């Protein structure tokens, strides 16, 4: 049996040891909490400037199916190109090159692919216009009629002859490179109004990098466009050239400052052969260009023309982790 003195010293030692243990435990817990907090901050910081990749699909039968495109998991947006004929009383007609023949209803088979892409969280958008087409808005009323056609045949409306079947696309892309610059703002407003009928109608655009865009400059001022992928190619005054990014930087600053869109994307060719000029080697893009433009809060990512050329170079795979 311990004496009273021994009992006191034993109790005193045990108490101090327990206090020391508790202090060590609290310090360890505090360090763990601090480490966890640091990880969360780093993740949030990384996600703040994280962007996505948008790809144009539809103008080459050798680029794989729409479902295969989405299955790569490289893209956040797939833009179906194109509806090149519409407006001014014309019967609208989609053109998907070698993928399907819309004149016999063959393109309705894409409905399943569209739905599978959307199930993966990928937005699928129809691009109207293009570099070669017959499109023209003759009046404000004509623009509203085109909006009604797009709603009923590709978006949330109903039609007996939907070209892509019953899949409901996520929005409409304005790739306007001809015709006139009139009434595109009316079309944008009319399409945007359909968002009140249920599923949001996303509006996107692919203007040329010289500012303001000659065709849809006024439409972009409406502030209705969610994503604007500016074509920084085939336009030497505002594109990358031989490791010189100054022209591109100046144009990027103007687009991100003056256009009230949610996000602005850097539009690029996915291969040298995809455009006449403006291709940026992947190494230069990730080491020079992206660090510069990602400082903008409006940075959204990179748009590529097109899936066919991306298949040749694997450009999206090379840049994905840096976008």
Question: Which are the catalytic amino acids?
Answer: 177
C-alpha gyration radius of the chain: 27
Contact between 179 and 215 (Cβ < 8 Å)? yes
State the Cα–Cα distance between residues 166 and 163, nearest whole angstrom: 9
State the Cα–Cα distance between residues 210 and 233, nearest whole angstrom: 10
Handedness of CA 137, 140, 146, 151 (dihedral sign): positive
Q: What six digits make up the tokens of 236?
A: 């030497």
> What residues contact 50, with CB distance under 8 A and at least 6 apart?
323
């Amino acid at each position: 049996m311990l004496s009273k003195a021994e009992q006191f010293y034993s109790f005193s030692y045990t108490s101090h040891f327990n206090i020391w243990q508790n202090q060590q435990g609290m310090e360890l817990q505090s360090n763990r909490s601090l480490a966890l907090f640091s990880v969360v901050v780093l993740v949030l910081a990384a996600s703040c400037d994280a962007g996505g990749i948008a790809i144009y699909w539809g103008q080459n039968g050798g680029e794989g199916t729409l479902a295969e495109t989405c299955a790569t998991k490289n893209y956040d947006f797939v833009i179906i190109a194109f509806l090149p004929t519409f407006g001014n009383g014309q019967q609208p007609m989609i053109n998907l090159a070698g993928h399907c023949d819309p004149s016999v209803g063959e393109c309705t088979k894409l409905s399943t692919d569209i739905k599978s892409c959307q199930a993966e969280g990928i937005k699928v958008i129809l691009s109207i216009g293009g570099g070669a087409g017959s499109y023209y808005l003759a009046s404000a009323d004509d623009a509203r009629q085109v909006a009604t056609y797009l709603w009923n045949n590709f978006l949330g409306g109903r039609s007996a002859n939907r070209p892509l079947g019953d899949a409901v696309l996520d929005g409409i892309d304005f790739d306007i490179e001809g015709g006139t610059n009139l009434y595109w703002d009316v079309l944008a407003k009319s399409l945007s109004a359909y968002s009140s009928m249920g599923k949001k109608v996303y509006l996107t655009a692919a203007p040329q990098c010289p500012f303001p865009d000659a065709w849809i400059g006024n439409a972009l001022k409406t502030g209705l466009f969610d994503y604007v992928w500016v074509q920084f190619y085939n336009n030497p005054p505002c594109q990358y050239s031989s490791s010189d990014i100054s022209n591109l930087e100046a144009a990027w600053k103007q687009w991100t400052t003056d256009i009230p869109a949610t996000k602005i994307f850097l539009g690029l060719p996915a291969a040298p052969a995809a455009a006449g000029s403006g291709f940026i080697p992947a190494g230069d893009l990730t080491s020079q260009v992206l660090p510069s433009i990602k400082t903008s809060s409006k940075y959204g990512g990179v748009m590529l023309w097109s899936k066919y050329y991306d298949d040749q170079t694997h450009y999206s795979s090379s840049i994905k982790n840096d976008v």
